[in-house]
Amino acid sequence: MFSVENNFLSESAASSWKRCHELGLKPSDPVDDEILTQSRIHALLRNNEQTIHYAEQVFDQMHASIKQSGQIALLIDAEGTIIHTVGDVDFSRRALTVQLQVGANWAEERKGTNAIGVALTERKPVRVHAEEHYFNSNHFLTCASAPIFNSIGELIGVINISGKQEHYHAYTYTLACLAAASLQNKMLLEEAKKEHLITLNELEHTAQHHPLPLLTLSRDNRILRANHAAIRIIGHDAVGKEFTKMEGFSVETIHNEHQKLWQSVSIRKQTADEQHLYTFKEIIGTCPTILQKKELAYKAAATDYPVLLLGESGVGKELFAQSIHTASLRYAAPFIALNCGAIPDSLIESELFGYVRGAFTGANKDGNPGKFEAAHKGTIFLDEIGDMPLRAQAALLRVLQEGVITPVGSAKSKAIDVRIVSATNKDLAAEVKAGRFRADLYYRLKGIHIALPALRERSDVILLAVHLLQKHAAPCPVLTEAAQHRLLAYSWPGNIRELNGILMQAIFLAEGRAIDAEHLMLDQTDGFVQAESGDDPLHTLKDAEITAIKKALKATEWNLSKAASHLKIGRTTLYRKIEEYNISLF
């Protein structure tokens, strides 16, 4: 029967002695003399490089007191292997006899009762003095150890201070605990810095998937954060709880470059029948004008004010409308689009506000909710608002003023909560003066008005063309210099929509080769800035360059460096061409 003498063993040491006895160890056993090979030691040090770095900083602060007291300080990994030592040289030589050196393992099952092994086993600070050591050969030692934990509570190692038993000091135990706490604090501070980088990555991920429900998960799979769309699904009380797999959610891991610190994001993917809506990230362009409009629209998205988008047909008004919706707090609710110019005058009210059963001949027998009801809590996009009949304008104004709709054929009203984004290619102020558009509705709709530039006014036509080519063909076809000049010389009456169609046809005609001027089927009579029927082809190229330079200068407010950058030419070349073509800078 095993027993211990409680008069000289602490409670922790007594528990350890019992475990050692159960393992079949004997106090007279020789000390385990197995040391890791140099190659394995190098690998171990590389794996723990960061922890060793911070331990060195801690040991530097206490080096003098450790050395003067004839002791050594050790850093041990979670498996019990010594990975760093510092301290008194004379004692270090004596310590080699019992292998207190890098590469030696002091786990309890190998070295019996000792401060390192007990601290690892019991996960708490401990002191083992003299004869409390299980092996007789270690009785000359007095040791104190304190465990080290990472930010999520995992045991990653131990700080140990050892010396001869006659050099025992009561503060050694406290010193080991302070050293372990200091090391933990240094690692937590460094983790906080890396957490900042992780957060930036997370924000980028959030921006990319903004309209979709998104969760941030900790390493132990608990929900740290959730966007509004996700909270609607999981509930506010789910934050902090363990995330259980839910249908439609896909977990993706985010980590730093060392893969030491990581989190996850769980994104609810769109299903095949869900509507794809554009985001601001998908609005391509480097032209200062379009960048300014994007910034204005992005700011508008954060409000609930009505937005009026102005611009020619094909400039991307619906793309902006969808992006405003997906960047708003309503992104998880419906986005409903209606072309006001495509609905017959007699049907536009039923389209907007719906109708009840039997409202008119040919109506659906069950009635039909209108666009406003379908967009409840979301955004309704009224395209070509300038073509809306006056009678429907009056009904729309009433909805905007009162926040209620009345379906056609019904006496009951319904409260409605929608955000209005409208668009037109007409001059609504002129339409108001002509009596074709209600002034009161006009001022209601133009809470924030954004005029989008025509393609001919943009300085990034070639960049936009390349982007569209990349969407339609892989590998992306090359645009020859002649093709680029032809694109720049054209005035684009159909804007981006026309550019997209022409490039699709050019890909087809080029048959995998570079796209040349001959592959661009442009309108010969309506679209060119300067006619191409002149006898001198160099004259057309000159005019194209003059036009491109003037557009770039205007777009960059005559900043020559920026203009040269947009034109993809050197500043010196731009100076030369301005002088050659006698282009005024004022």
- The residue whose two tokens read 């009951």 is 412
**pLDDT exceeds cutoff 90 at 116:** yes
pLDDT computed for residue 36 by the predictor? 85
Amino acid at 511: E
In angstroms, the Cα distances linking 502 to 235, 488, 498, 519, 522 are 49, 14, 6, 9, 7
Mean pLDDT of all residues in 566-584? 77
**pLDDT exceeds cutoff 60 at 535:** no
pLDDT computed for residue 364 by the predictor? 60
Conformation bin of residue 409: beta by default, left when phi > 0, alpha when psi is -120 to 50: left
**For residues 350 and 389, is the Cβ–Cβ distance under 8 A?**
no
Cβ atoms within 10 Å of 212's Cβ, excluding its own = 20
Higher pLDDT, 370 or 529: 370
**Strand ranges across the sheet with 335-339:** 335-339, 379-383, 419-424, 307-310, 448-451
User: Percent of the chain having pLDDT more than 90?
Assistant: 35
Mean pLDDT of all residues in 367-379? 87
Which of 17-21, 167-171, 298-302 has the least mean pLDDT?
Answer: 167-171
pLDDT confidence of 50, banded at 50, 70, 90? Answer: confident
Q: Which residues pair with 379 in a beta bridge?
A: 335, 419
pLDDT computed for residue 469 by the predictor? 92
Mean pLDDT of all residues in 525-529? 53
pLDDT confidence of 564, banded at 50, 70, 90? Answer: confident
Mean pLDDT of all residues in 475-501? 91
User: Percent of the chain having pLDDT more than 70?
Assistant: 81
Higher pLDDT, 571 or 528: 571
**For residues 172 and 141, is the Cβ–Cβ distance under 8 A?**
no
**pLDDT exceeds cutoff 90 at 113:** yes
Higher pLDDT, 232 or 482: 482
Using CA atoms of 496, 498, 499, 502 in order, give the dihedral in degrees to the nearest 10.
Answer: 160
pLDDT computed for residue 225 by the predictor? 72
Mode of pairing for the β-strands spanning 71-77 and 155-164: antiparallel
pLDDT computed for residue 487 by the predictor? 93
Higher pLDDT, 210 or 198: 198
pLDDT computed for residue 370 by the predictor? 84
pLDDT computed for residue 209 by the predictor? 44
**pLDDT exceeds cutoff 90 at 390:** no
Higher pLDDT, 550 or 207: 550
Report the C-alpha gap between 92 and 89 in whole angstroms.
Answer: 5
Six-digit token string for 358: 């039997």
Mean pLDDT of all residues in 554-574? 78
pLDDT confidence of 261, banded at 50, 70, 90? Answer: very low
Higher pLDDT, 172 or 571: 172
pLDDT confidence of 533, banded at 50, 70, 90? Answer: very low
Which of 187-201, 256-270, 533-547 has the least mean pLDDT?
Answer: 256-270
Which run of H or E residues covers position 487? helix 481-489
pLDDT confidence of 406, banded at 50, 70, 90? Answer: confident
In angstroms, the Cα distances linking 358 to 128, 244, 366, 373 are 92, 48, 8, 19
Query: Could you tell me which of 563, 560, 541, 559 has the C-alpha nearest to residue 551?
Result: 563
**pLDDT exceeds cutoff 90 at 317:** yes
**pLDDT exceeds cutoff 80 at 243:** no
pLDDT computed for residue 385 by the predictor? 93
Mean pLDDT of all residues in 18-47? 84
Six-digit token string for 322: 């969808």
Is pTM beyond 0.75 here?
no
Give CA 337 to chain center in angstroms.
Answer: 29
Print burial letters for 14-51: b (CB count within 10 Å at least 16), e (below 16). bbbbebbbeeebebeeeebeebbeeeebeebeeebeeb
Query: Could you tell me which of 514, 459, 530 has the C-alpha nearest to residue 481?
Result: 514
CA-derived radius of gyration, the chain: 37
The pLDDT tens digits for 126-156 are 999 999 999 998 999 999 999 999 877 889 9
Cβ atoms within 10 Å of 404's Cβ, excluding its own = 14
pLDDT computed for residue 531 by the predictor? 38
In angstroms, the Cα distances linking 229 to 101, 232, 235, 513 are 56, 5, 10, 46
**pLDDT exceeds cutoff 80 at 437:** yes
**pLDDT exceeds cutoff 50 at 532:** no
CB contact set of 303 (below 8 Å; sequence gap of 6+): 448
pLDDT computed for residue 221 by the predictor? 76
In angstroms, how far is the first alpha carbon of the chain from the final one?
104
Higher pLDDT, 209 or 44: 44
Query: Could you tell me which of 567, 545, 558, 560 has the C-alpha nearest to residue 586?
Result: 558
Mean pLDDT of all residues in 488-503? 91
Residue 375 carries which DSSP code?
Answer: T
